[in-house]
């Protein structure tokens, strides 16, 4: 696994999922997302509770396919697994990883909004919604709800904010300490924060809940939370 050193030099552009990021993305996730392995486990564990043989699963913003690979390796039934991403650099690595594990996973290089989603039982979107503009984000949740079968499940993870400004600052400080302990320098942390400005737009817990309920989901809950990172589940009746 190539080490993430993308932000060791002064940034020249906003953050994007290009070749430089894709080449170190797995290391970036493991060192930038607290309890990333636990999130993968929960996504797989709860997703499999609702899946039967032949069910279709989408991963929206699948990046290097870590989630779909984890799901496939732990499933006792055959699933129709489909990863969607608009970064060709990410999908190249996703295909290579799936092939290395001998897994049958389909990949589509497409914008989520341009692609028709067929009826599915599970849709996953880990750390993807936060990169979509708020108005379009709500459109996507509606599209997800409409494409899910009755009893279908939507599992997603997001960076979140709290509405208490002082507490939110403490959250950020704690997260920066986490990144320092993962080997990132103060300069790298500040560079990445600047690159993500106005690119990553997090919602609060209540905003995520409202968006899900407005789409028609009747059941919404938080599977996991660490400071400003959460994994949610929504169920369609």
- Tens digits of residue pLDDT in 215-232: 999 999 999 999 999 999
Number of helical H runs and strand E runs in the chain: 9, 8
Model pLDDT, residue 21: 73
Which residues face 14 on adjacent strands?
Answer: none
- Tens digits of residue pLDDT in 21-40: 777 778 878 889 999 999 99
Q: Which helix (DSSP H) or strand (DSSP E) does residue 221 occupy?
A: strand 219-226
Model pLDDT, residue 191: 85
- Tens digits of residue pLDDT in 184-220: 999 888 888 888 887 899 999 999 999 999 999 999 9
CA distance 107 to 92: 10
Q: How far apart are the first and last CA of the chain?
A: 41
Model pLDDT, residue 42: 97
**Stretch 132-157: mean pLDDT, rounded?**
96
Please give the DSSP secondary-structure letter assigned to residue 233.
E
- Tens digits of residue pLDDT in 77-130: 999 999 999 999 999 999 999 999 999 999 999 999 999 999 999 999 999 999
Q: What are phi and psi of 152, to 5 degrees?
A: -70, 160
Burial of 196 (0-12, 13-18, 19+ CB in 10 A): middle
CB 141 within 8 A of CB 128: no
- CA quadruple 83, 88, 92, 97: dihedral sign: negative
**pLDDT grade, residue 18 (50/70/90)?**
confident
Model pLDDT, residue 160: 96
Share of the chain above pLDDT 90, in %: 79
Question: Which stretch of 5-9, 111-115, 137-141, 183-187 has the lowest confidence by average pLDDT?
Answer: 5-9
Burial of 73 (0-12, 13-18, 19+ CB in 10 A): exposed
CB 198 within 8 A of CB 14: yes
- Tell how far CA 59 is from the center of its chain: 9
Model pLDDT, residue 230: 97
CA distance 179 to 189: 8
Model pLDDT, residue 12: 63
| Token couple for 170 | 């403490």
Which structural domains are found in the chain, ordered by start? 29-227 (3.40.50.150)
Torsion of CA 193, 198, 199, 202, to 10 degrees: 80
Predicted model pTM: 0.91
CB 84 within 8 A of CB 58: yes
**pLDDT grade, residue 151 (50/70/90)?**
very high
Model pLDDT, residue 192: 86
């Amino acid at each position: 696994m190539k080490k993430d050193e993308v932000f060791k030099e002064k940034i020249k552009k906003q953050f994007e999922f290009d070749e430089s990021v894709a080449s170190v993305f797995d290391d970036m996730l493991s060192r930038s997302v607290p309890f990333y392995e636990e999130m993968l486990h929960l996504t797989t564990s709860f997703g499999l509770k609702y899946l039967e043989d032949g069910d279709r699963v989408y991963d929206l913003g699948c990046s290097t396919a870590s989630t779909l690979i984890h799901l496939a390796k732990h499933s006792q039934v055959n699933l129709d697994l489909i990863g969607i991403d608009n970064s060709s650099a990410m999908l190249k690595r996703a295909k290579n990883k799936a092939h290395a594990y001998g897994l049958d996973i389909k990949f589509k290089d497409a914008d989520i909004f341009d692609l028709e989603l067929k009826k599915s039982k599970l849709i996953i979107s880990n750390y993807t919604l936060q990169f979509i503009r708020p108005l379009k984000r709500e459109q996507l949740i509606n599209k997800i709800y409409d494409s899910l079968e009755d009893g279908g499940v939507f599992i997603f993870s997001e960076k979140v904010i709290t509405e208490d400004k002082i507490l939110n600052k403490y959250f950020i400080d704690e997260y920066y300490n986490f990144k320092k302990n993962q080997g990132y320098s103060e300069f790298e942390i500040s560079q990445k924060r600047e690159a993500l400005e106005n690119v990553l737009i997090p919602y609060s817990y209540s905003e995520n809940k409202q968006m899900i309920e407005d789409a028609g989901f009747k059941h919404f809950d938080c599977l996991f939370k660490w400071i400003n990172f959460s994994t949610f589940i929504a169920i369609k009746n």
